[in-house]
């Protein structure tokens, strides 16, 4: 703890102890809850209580305000900071839906405007920001034009040359930039081309399709206020993603929780039809992993049970969501008997033998307390065995 000694001005600087929590629950009659903690040295720093000035005193520079937000590839390497407030940053979702509201041809081929037969615009953003995600229906629309700050770049899929006869191993081109796990094509996803390569822009971004047949598009982008302190890494379309980033995302489906933890274990009884408090914690704490293990023969009927999380003694929960949905699935139904129903960063659902493991590694901090409960579905379950 220290203070700014500038005359007439005092700012208290505090270092909070953040705990890291790992919860593992088995719903075959007993619940095992494991709590782990780490010291503040390895925890992300808390947000400041007020905005310090840039005045230097006693050899120390005041931290920037608003805090610098890791964006682009940095956001993967600093994912412990995901829950922090992003001052001056807004997230947007855009798509090619029918803007007349008639749902003509579903959500396909509804372009904003065209500037020629081979330049049909689906996304048009002004200002500063980053495009984080693009989903298209297979190769439809390819070649795609990414016009960044007025400079046109072309991305295509290798099935583009002969779309009537798509290649079984079709890939993005250029493949050295758009490669797994940051970019996946339909032979892998079994339906869509997905691109998570961050595309930063300073003044404008336009995305346009050369082909218009069933040209679907779903996009997620962030846009910044002019004075936002962010740390984007420029993309020059010639440099492959940072190997460290690929390594982090390549761990999807595995346990990515911090390892420098101590554990506390509780065992509880799960009774059919009654709410179950998984655990109650005192803060300040940061949850780093939430894991549940279900009997495979009961997983489907538990899909509609609600996971309820209440922070800091509030009257209403901040999280109240169907169990399956919290971990990335609509239902805990594995029709193909795949090992992973969900394999993402940082959530996964894995089937192994007679059990189903659900894991979420989203960092979730709180100040005073956290109550995590499992609430049985009050209505008739949608699916039963």
| Average predicted confidence (pLDDT) for the chain | 79
Distance between CA atoms of residues 35 and 21, nearest Å:
5
Q: Is 228 helix (H, G, I), strand (E, B) or coil?
A: coil
What confidence score (pLDDT) does residue 71 get?
A: 87
CA dist., res. 162 & res. 165, Å (int) = 6
Question: What DSSP line would sit under 63-113, residue for residue?
Answer: PPSSPPBP-TTHHHHTGGGTTS--TTEEEEEEE---TTSS-TTTTSS--SE
Task: Decide if pLDDT at 348 tops 80.
Answer: yes
CA distances from 205 to 120, 134, 146, 148, 248 (A): 14, 13, 7, 5, 28
**55 pLDDT exceeds 50?**
no
Averaged pLDDT, 33-53: 40
With CA atoms as reference, report the closest residue to 310 among 373, 376, 377: 373
Average pLDDT over residues 113-138: 94
User: How many angstroms from the chain centroid is the CA of residue 383?
Assistant: 28
- The pLDDT tens digits of the residues spanning 213-272 come to 888 899 999 998 877 766 655 556 668 888 998 999 989 999 888 877 655 565 666 666
Q: What is the pLDDT of residue 332?
A: 93
- 40 or 280, higher pLDDT: 280
Whole-angstrom distance, CA of residue 368 vs CA of residue 70: 26
Q: Which residues pair with 343 in a beta bridge?
A: 348
CA–CA gap between residue 210 and residue 257 (Å, rounded): 43
pLDDT in tens, 322-331: 999 999 999 9
Contact (Cβ atoms closer than 8 angstroms) between residue 101 and residue 107: no
Q: How far is CA 140 from the centre of its chain?
A: 26
**In terms of DSSP bridges, do strands 204-209 and 120-126 run parallel, antiparallel, or are they unpaired?**
antiparallel
Which one, of 56, 86, 17, 49, lies nearest residue 262 by Cα? 17
Numbered ranges of CATH 2.60.120 in the chain: 89-249
Query: Is residue 85 very low, low, confident or very high in pLDDT (cuts 50, 70, 90)?
Result: confident
Q: Mean pLDDT over residues 21-38, rounded? A: 42
Topology of the domain comprising 89-249: Jelly Rolls (2.60.120)
Could you give the 3-state DSSP secondary structure of residue 244?
Answer: helix
Give the integer Cα–Cα distance in Å for 223 and 201.
9
Residue 40, pLDDT above cutoff 70:
no
3-state secondary structure at position 355:
strand
């Amino acid at each position: 703890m220290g203070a700014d000694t500038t005359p007439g001005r005092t700012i208290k600087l505090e270092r909070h102890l953040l705990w890291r929590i790992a919860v593992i629950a088995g719903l075959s009659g007993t619940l095992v809850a494991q709590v782990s903690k780490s010291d503040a040295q390895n925890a992300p720093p808390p947000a400041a209580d007020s905005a310090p000035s840039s005045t230097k005193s006693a050899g120390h520079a005041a931290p920037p305000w608003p805090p610098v937000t890791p964006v682009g590839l940095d956001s993967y390497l600093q994912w412990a900071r995901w829950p922090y407030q992003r001052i001056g940053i807004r997230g947007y979702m855009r798509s090619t839906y029918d803007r007349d509201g008639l749902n003509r041809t579903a959500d396909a081929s509804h372009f904003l405007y065209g500037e020629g037969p081979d330049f049909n615009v689906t996304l048009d953003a002004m200002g500063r920001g980053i495009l984080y995600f693009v989903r298209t229906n297979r190769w439809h629309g390819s070649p795609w034009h990414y016009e960044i700050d007025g400079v046109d770049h072309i991305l295509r899929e290798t099935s583009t040359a002969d779309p009537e006869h798509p290649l079984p191993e079709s890939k993005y081109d250029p493949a050295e930039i758009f490669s797994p796990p940051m970019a996946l094509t339909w032979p892998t996803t079994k339906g869509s081309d997905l691109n998570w390569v961050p595309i930063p822009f300073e003044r404008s971004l336009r995305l346009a399709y050369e082909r218009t047949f069933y040209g679907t598009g779903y996009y997620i982008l962030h846009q910044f206020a002019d004075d936002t302190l962010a740390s984007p890494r420029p993309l020059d379309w010639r440099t492959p993603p940072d190997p460290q980033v690929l390594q982090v995302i390549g761990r999807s489906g595995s346990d990515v929780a911090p390892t420098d933890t101590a554990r506390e274990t509780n065992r509880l009884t799960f009774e059919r039809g009654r709410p179950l408090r998984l655990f109650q914690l005192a803060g300040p704490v940061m949850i780093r992993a939430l894991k549940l293990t279900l009997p495979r023969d009961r997983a489907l009927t538990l899909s509609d049970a609600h996971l309820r999380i209440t922070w800091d003694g509030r009257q209403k929960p901040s999280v109240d969501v169907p169990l399956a949905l919290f971990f990335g699935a609509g239902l805990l139904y594995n029709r193909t008997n795949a090992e992973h129903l969900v394999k993402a960063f940082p959530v996964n659902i894995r089937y192994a033998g007679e059990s189903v493991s659900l894991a979420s590694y989203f960092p979730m901090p709180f100040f005073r307390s956290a109550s995590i409960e499992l609430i049985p579905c009050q209505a008739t379950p949608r699916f039963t065995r």
